[in-house]
Amino acid sequence: MIHQPPSGARDLLPLEVTQKGWINDQLQSVFQKWGYQRIVTSTLEWTDTLLAGGAIDPKTLIQLQSGLENSLGLRPELTASIARAAVTRISGDTDYPQRLCYRANVFRYPPAGYHGKQMEFFQAGVELLFVGGILADTEILLLVVDCLQSLGLKDWSVVLGDVNLTLSLLNIFPPSLRGEIRSCIVSLDRLKLEGLAFGSDELRQMALEIFDLRGQSDQVLERVSNFPLDMAGKKSVEHLKLLLNNHLAKIYPAGLPIVLDLSLLQSFDYYTGIVFQIVKAGNSGLRLLGQGGRYDQLLELYHPQKKSSPGIGFSLNIEDLYHSLLENDGLPQSAPTNDWLVIPQDFAAEPAALLYAQTLRSGDSSLRVEIDLTRYEPEQIREYAFARGIANLAWVSAEGPPLIERIC
């Protein structure tokens, strides 16, 4: 029998661990510079928590069988778990903003028809809780930019939408059609959209125009002004104008690579304001580097008194960042090498070798020290050390000081 990981899972070998660890370390450093503190939530959660009041598709949830009355599942994303922890463990009576960051694995069943597609994903991200408004939205978008720049990524774009504005546009249509139109927009199915029973060519044309509302922000917002928006929609338009043309423009006068896409609706259905995706063209097509948005109704699901609190955040996909950087040689090219190889010259010298290795580690906590376990001939040991990039050899005898040899 050939033992392999389960379908949808995979092993990470040392070099890949080193490279993805470097990505994570860079991101965590940026998060901390912005005042975010790391939180660790449980990999296992109650299913009710993970479904976020019906916002998460239950077909994506990997559930675990247990003898408990309520079922358990593996987290498909982090926002719901952090929202649960924030309102039950952190908030208390305070309304001060909470800046939380994470690095974690998440688990999701792939869509139907994708046999063997990945089920375990690694993410890093932030959640900014208990505060709303344009300044918080701006902070999150600027933090995304800072993260991408810290990794040295180029040619990325932020695809930005607004759920409130898109839903306002859908309110133009009869209630019986809104769900179908939204489904077509989420799945980018223009053909199906064209075939819906609108009842009039005017409504069909309007739906197709909404489907195509993407491009330069000024142009898109000008086109939106021609639609009969309700007050919520008009407020969202003004919010986007202020966000793009004032707050972000003050920091980046030359502009950021932002595409305004009012057909953007995230697969997780708890978003209430701006939503965004970070994308980059790669050798194998377009990569989704991350996603996020505002969710001002999620935290109340978990609050003991159902108190409503705003929140916004994003997650970055480590796997896609890894492949994007790999294409441009932007990653460390080797796993860390050890600094010393301590070799006991015979059985009697083994305690002395253990003691010398421990002395080296105690003297400098950054040193990486290994003990030779092979009893190979000296030349074989030197070949091994050279191949592994180990610069210093210590030949230890039972008596007398070690013989130090430098080979790299």
From the list 28, 49, 151, 44, the residue with the least C-alpha distance to 105 is 44
Residues of the chain with CATH 3.30.930.10: 14-327
Q: Which of 352, 351, 350, 340 is nearest to 400 (CA)?
A: 352
DSSP SS3 for 132: coil
The Cα diameter of the chain in Å comes to 97
* pLDDT the model gives residue 92: 59
- Average pLDDT of the residues in 95-110: 90
pLDDT tens by residue, 246-302: 999 999 998 899 999 988 876 557 889 999 999 998 777 789 999 999 999 899 988
Across 157-181, average pLDDT: 91
| Confidence (pLDDT) at 267 | 58
CA distances from 339 to 142, 363, 368, 379 (A): 40, 13, 5, 19
User: Can you tell me the distance from the alpha carbon of 300 to that of 123, in angstroms, rounded to the nearest whole number?
Assistant: 25
pLDDT interval class at 341 (50, 70, 90): very high
Predicted local confidence at residue 2, as pLDDT = 65
Q: Residue 392 forms beta bridges with which residues? A: 340, 406
Rounded to the nearest integer, the mean pLDDT of the chain is: 89
Reported as a single tens digit per residue, the pLDDT across 55-74 is 778 888 888 866 666 788 99
Predicted TM-score of the model (pTM): 0.87
Sign of the alpha-carbon torsion through 14, 396, 351, 362: negative
Mean pLDDT in residue range 86-106: 85
Question: Is residue 294 within 8 Å of 311, Cβ to Cβ?
Answer: yes
Please give the pLDDT value at position 116: 52
The mean pLDDT value for 322-346 works out to 90
**pLDDT tens profile 5-42:** 776 678 888 999 999 999 999 999 999 999 999 999 99
Would you tell me how many other CB atoms lie within 10 Å of the CB of residue 65?
Answer: 7
CATH of domain 340-406: 3.40.50.800
pLDDT at 59: 83
Asked whether residue 191 carries a pLDDT value surpassing 60, the answer given is: yes
Q: How far apart are CA 22 and CA 13, in angstroms?
A: 14
Residue 49 pLDDT level (bands cut at 50, 70, 90): confident
Mean pLDDT of 131-155: 96
Chain segment 218-244, per-residue pLDDT in tens: 999 999 988 888 899 999 999 999 999
- 218 Cβ neighbours under 8 A, 6+ residues apart: 245
pLDDT of residue 318: 96
What pLDDT was estimated at residue 263?
84
Cα 378 to chain centroid distance, Å, stands at 48
- Extract the runs of DSSP E, i.e. beta strands, from 254-368: 258-261, 274-282, 285-294, 311-317, 340-344
Span 110-128, mean pLDDT? 80
The whole-number pLDDT of residue 70 equals 75
Listed in order, the ranges of the chain carrying CATH 3.40.50.800 are: 340-406
pLDDT at position 84 is 92
Question: Architecture of 14-327 per CATH?
Answer: 2-Layer Sandwich (3.30)
Alpha carbon distance, N-terminus to C-terminus of the chain: 42
Check pLDDT > 80 for residue 95.
Answer: no
Lowest-confidence region among 18-32, 124-138, 185-199, 363-377 = 185-199
- What residue type is assigned to position 362 of the chain? S
Q: Does 114 have pLDDT greater than 60?
A: no
**pLDDT at site 68:** 65
pLDDT single digits (tens) 314-333? 999 999 999 999 887 778 88
